[in-house]
Structure 1
């Protein structure tokens, strides 16, 4: 059971401001084997890690990520909204996260946030960065924009893709296979044990999100999922340690 992926949702986002280097670093200390984060683009084409399309909730300012230059973005305070201890935390670049995990074997789940804003050339830029850092085997690209994932697969067949979805799908593994995806990332209420087993039989892994309650984690483990995306990686790590005894 210990080979299940413990994927920290936006880093250790229960105890640190989400999608910051503090959150990513802390998640590894808490037992995460993988990190999930959100990728967007600045107005001058830099890849940055932030969930919302606007800066108002976590970016310490008004305005859209797409309308902000990288240098402007780096002046924003991305930590004090969470707690004063994190004042001065910055919105990271994708490269900063790559530097953190390089050589560690940590799974990187990069969610392309291109459903509301159609970032032109995002797929190419993300894939070029992955290849520059030789992280093709360490990265999984996910998105609610499934057309974007098909584009990624055409650009770089060697990089894994995973379909994000909220509602229950009919035979999701058939759909994933058609899109040449290797993973399903369903909302925690959108999966069944039968789907998990059938997907695995087709070589497709299932990582539900965002599972924070230990009882829900246990239910997912009992369903046979191969990984769990969670805000509290330490809770899942403890649960799996008990299982391994």
Structure 2
């Protein structure tokens, strides 16, 4: 499905690959990130947690059971223990041997490109001490502050990030029904609203834009929904299928 010429409002929309190309490859693995870029992603969205020995790893669940087949919590394992388990065969046998990557591995992959990285801090169930400081120091070490957006459902964490590094963008993750969220975003110093796709309508996008706040909608996998959100004026779309969005853009 392609736009007619007069229907295209902008192509300057960030194509965020959700956990990499998670609809096509095992989520939050290096192959998923690399293939997402090949499929046209201009951004990568991933989840950050902290191992027992203080390393930043990219995994959505607080427990390894779903993607690595081990009933153990990230917080209770060292990086070496995490790396001893493969995280690809749950998706398909072709990907057996894929590992849970570190944040450094992802930043190494994209450092020579202009890819935008959206790092979701997973500190709602497990309150990882100093996760904000650890992430920010790593981003700054790679000199990627201008290309990173830190998001979280824990908005206290976003306030802490802004205190530590005002130059790094932050995004408020929320599901639905947040009243005049642009005012809330400005109150806590956030730059973007990372809203569930059902909470994004043109009127809200326009009102937020007037206040200098942009919308990044998640998780959008159908081209009809992508097209509607592009028309609504969002600045970014988070999708499991970056190839589908790239086709529209």
TM-score exceeds 0.5: yes
Deviation at 1:186, TM superposition (A): 0.2
Deviation at 1:162, TM superposition (A): 0.4
Aligned mate of 1:50, from 53, 59, 78: 59
Aligned mate of 1:116, from 108, 118, 125: 125
Aligned mate of 1:88, from 94, 97, 100: 97
In the alignment, is the contact (CA less than 8 A) between 1:168 and 1:191 conserved in 2?
no
- The answer for the alignment partner of 1:223 in structure 2 is 232
Structure 2: unaligned runs, 5 residues or longer: 1-9
1:125 counterpart = 2:131: no
Deviation at 1:164, TM superposition (A): 0.3
- The answer for the alignment partner of 2:3 in structure 1 is none
Deviation at 1:45, TM superposition (A): 0.6
In 2, Cα distance between equivalents of 1:85 and 1:192: 40
- The answer for the alignment partner of 1:14 in structure 2 is 23
What TM-score results when the alignment is normalised by the length of structure 2? 0.95
Q: Deviations over 1:73-130 (max 9, x none)?
A: 0011100000001000000000000000102010000000000000001111000001
SS of 2:158's equivalent?
helix
In 1, Cα distance between equivalents of 2:203 and 2:187: 19
SS of 1:58's equivalent?
helix
What TM-score results when the alignment is normalised by the length of structure 1? 0.97
Bigger CA drift: 186-195 or 91-100? Answer: 186-195
In the alignment, is the contact (CA less than 8 A) between 1:5 and 1:34 conserved in 2?
yes
- The answer for the alignment partner of 2:6 in structure 1 is none
SS of 1:66's equivalent?
helix
Aligned mate of 1:78, from 63, 81, 87: 87
SS of 2:145's equivalent?
coil
- The answer for the alignment partner of 1:140 in structure 2 is 149
In 2, Cα distance between equivalents of 1:105 and 1:239: 20
Aligned mate of 2:199, from 190, 209, 220: 190
Q: Deviations over 1:138-180 (max 9, x none)?
A: 1000000000000000000000000000112110000000011
In 2, Cα distance between equivalents of 1:227 and 1:149: 19
SS of 1:207's equivalent?
strand
Paired positions, count: 240
- The answer for the alignment partner of 1:243 in structure 2 is none
Aligned mate of 2:106, from 97, 106, 117: 97
In 1, Cα distance between equivalents of 2:110 and 2:100: 17
SS of 2:171's equivalent?
strand
